[in-house]
Chain A
Amino acid sequence: MILRDDWKQTLPAHMKPSSYATKPTRFTLFLRTFVPWQIVRFLIVNIKMMRMTWLNKHSH
């Protein structure tokens, strides 16, 4: 299939919804796969999720 230009041409790139979205900076993208930082995030996110399961057990 040839990519239909109709879709692409309906809106110029700068007017597509995606052009209004926030985009991550290079530094943010770097942090997302920077292993030492991600180890820290792994621990923090796990703690937050465990806190959530604790809350589910005790909030009723």
Chain B
Amino acid sequence: MANVVVLGAGVAGHTAAAFLRKWLGREHQVTVVSPKPDYNWLPSNIWVGLGLRTPQSVLVPLKPVYDRVGIVFKQARAVTLFPEGDAAMPSPHVEIEYTAGDKNQQRELVPYDFLINATGPKLKFDATEGLGPEHFTNSVCTADHAFHAAQAFLRDVEAMKHGEQRRFVVGSGHGTCTCQGASLEYVVNLEAELRRHGVRDKAQVIYLSNEYELGDFGMGGAHIRKGGYITPTSIFTASLFAERGIEWILQAHVEKIEKTQISYITLEGEHRTLDYDFAMLLPPFSGVGLKAINASGEDISAALFAPNGFMRVDADYAAKPYEQWQAADWPKTYQSPAYANIFAAGIAFAPPHAISQPHFTKDGLPIFATAPRTGMPSATIGKIIAESIRDQIAANGHALRTASMAKMGAACVASTGTGLTMGSAAAMTVCPIVPDYQTYPEYGRDLRYTMGEIGLAGHWIKVMLHYLFLYKARLLPGWTLIPE
């Protein structure tokens, strides 16, 4: 019997656990450890954050789903890995701490034969003074954050209905943020909502970002074949903002946030301030801070994790200048080089470097978008790790499965307004996610598969994906037919 333990129940961990349960015989055990009781379909948090959906509508309680399909669920957070075992338990195990129920705050050792780290990001609000829902700004990174953002937004809408004016600032709360796609989606939806509430003329909407150019999205932008031209996403995004009257400030590192003022520094080193009434600024990400201890009790965290806390896998982490970055630097199997039975999926794996070109102020302060790991690749990685583990348990001699972000494409549908006949969304596909200039010297991407367009169809697709992926997350009949 094999024991597979999955840390995290986001897109990557939930996908991996679900496929493992489907493929492995009942003599094998699949355990999921996650601190929250629910699976959150994050892309729809955007709608929750504007009061268009309830938090419950984007959450799936995990326990009933896992009980039904035979996955052991422990509502706990992983704390320390013991990949070689220790005196307390000689086999590999992970120490967890329960976050709810009778065992709340109790610790437990969970043995494993294979471990998947899919713990996603730590939301580093503390990287910027005054950032985050506990201070002055809003977030949509969790359903709960999004709910509170909606309340603040709707309060401002009410005030505007009574004649007041408001300035809304949306974007990145730090110079090393990623996930700009989510900020973009939020700002465009927010603008659409202001129009729907009839208060657009009372509002100024500003997109504040660490990106070097609009449409960078942490992947160095992309080129789209459209209307007889090959157009960079910077033009695509600027067009959308210009059409909606959204203003933008780029190349900004937010240094400090006070009740009504954001202080930021630009790439040129200029210190500026921006007054605001409502701000939704995403935090930078790091790994969740797992530790690792070897059999002799030594802390081997640095061997397993990169300094940013994400887990090292089969990538080329040698520091090299931007000009020498290659598609081949990116991991393929997501296996830990230190322990063959440990894998990392989704945001939890350490990228070898950014995708966008790094930029620094003259004092060396980094201001550029770091590498995103969006939903589609996260789920695909979770699935191929599950396949690799299945093969190893079956001892069928199959090589580890691979899925490189320098080969994989990603599809992203960013809502730009809701409504069955008047809604719209920007639908984009990019392939590969990490540009491969050896294979595609001019644009780094295969333009046959890279596209973008805005329209009602995109909105229908976004709504369809919302229902399809929540159905899939519930592991209801036919869930495997829904692609990652």
Contact = CB atoms under 8 A, between A and B. Distances in A.
Interface of A: 1-4, 7-8, 16-24, 31-33, 35, 38-39, 41-42, 45-46, 48-53, 55-56, 59-60
Contacts of A48: 429, 449, 451
Question: Interface SS of chain A: helix, strand, loop or mixed?
Answer: helix
Chain B contact patch, size range? 35 or more
A8 to B, nearest CB: 8
A1 B277 contact: yes
B456 A33 contact: yes
A21 B238 contact: yes
Contacts, number: 115
Contacts of A16: 247
B164 A35 contact: no
Contact of A18 (B238, B380, B410): B238
Contact of B457 (A3, A18, A19, A38): A38
Contacts of B484: 53, 56
B427 A45 contact: yes
B320 to A, nearest CB: 24
B247 A52 contact: no
B300 interface: no
20 contacts: A4-B275, A7-B204, A7-B247, A18-B241, A18-B248, A31-B455, A32-B424, A38-B455, A49-B427, A52-B376, A52-B409, A52-B410, A52-B411, A53-B483, A55-B431, A56-B409, A56-B484, A59-B407, A59-B408, A60-B384
Contacts of A19: 242
Interface string B402-413: 111001111100
A14 to B, nearest CB: 12
Given A1-B275, A52-B431, A60-B332, 12 more contacts: A1-B166, A7-B274, A8-B204, A18-B248, A21-B238, A21-B239, A41-B455, A51-B449, A52-B449, A55-B409, A55-B449, A56-B484
B461 A45 contact: yes
Contacts of A42: 457, 460-461
A38 B404 contact: no
Contacts of B274: 7
Contacts of A59: 407-408
Nearest to B384: A60
B380 A56 contact: yes
